[in-house]
Amino acid sequence: MFKRNMGRPPSLLELCLQNAIDCIRYLGDVGETESDLLKVILVHCTPEQLKFIEDSTEGRDLSPVTDSIWLKFYERKFGEENANLVKKRMKQKGVCFKWKLLFEAKAEEHEKEQQKTLQKSLNRLKQLYAKADQEKQNKQIQICTKVPPTKRNRNYGGSGSSIDFSNVKGRLMKKAKIEFVASREARVQATTMNKISAQSRISLGRLSNVSSILGKSSSSMTSGQTLSSNLSTTSAKSPSSTNSRHVMNSNVSTASAKSPLS
């Protein structure tokens, strides 16, 4: 921005320049404006605004005024080291290009590189999303609408499939059995079963002893009952013999009474 003495009021030229700088986004064709004034005004442009002014100005080449401004744009965006390298190459080859064209070419190249980098990042992101989606689908529970064939129907398809299935089933059962035996619950269950079997053996032994004792007592009771019945029979028969004796005595008495010797 131009400098002015703060001790005096601004001149008409300074006011016009300040107004042009404030409204620089509205500038287009600059016509035959002096180069010194354009340098003061255009230095406040952005690359897009400066390009628009140059493209809008007809019948005049503004590169003598804007070339140094484009060089500053180049250094500001791509670095002074890159700008010095471009100067060195142009000097070696004996050519000279406008910094506006160099800036636009470099910006286009930079844009393409950014697009490639962005595309690679997008492709990588798509692959990660696809991989995550595939893993998610593999973990999902799938509903089988088709009923699996029976064992008889499986055999119709060939012996190989049934053999493979049986082998797989056998391996799975073996693995499950090993895991079950090795588990803590299996050990606890085995200990409990051993205790139960030991208690059952003890109970069976006691029952057999009680049965043998009961068998002996029943036989003794049977013999006792037989003896009692025999005694009862004998006692039942004894009154008849007693009666017969009484009858004999009575007969003898009667006979003695009837005898003439008496």
Going from N- to C-terminal start, the domains of the chain cover 12-136, 179-218
- Give me the mean pLDDT over the 226-230 stretch: 46
Please report the pLDDT score of residue 68 as a whole number: 93
pTM for this one?
0.46
Return phi, psi of residue 90, to 5°: -65, -35
Judge contact between 33 and 13, C-beta under 8 A: no
Least confident of 2-11, 114-123, 149-158, 227-236: 227-236
Condensed to tens digits (0 to 9), the pLDDT of residues 150-207 reads 766 555 544 445 556 667 777 888 877 777 666 767 677 778 888 888 777 776 666 6
Q: Note whether 38 and 30 are within 8 A (CB).
A: yes
C-alpha separations of 22 from 15, 17, 63, 165 in Å = 11, 9, 23, 85
- Give tens-digit pLDDT for 14-30: 999 999 999 999 989 98
* Single-letter code of the amino acid located at 43: V
Q: Distance between CA 219 and CA 228 in Å, rounded?
A: 14
Predicted local confidence at residue 236, as pLDDT: 40
Q: Closest Cα partner for 73 from 51, 90, 56, 41?
A: 51
pLDDT in tens, 60-107: 889 999 999 999 999 999 999 999 999 999 999 888 899 999 999 999
pLDDT at 189: 76
d(CA 104, CA 167): 71
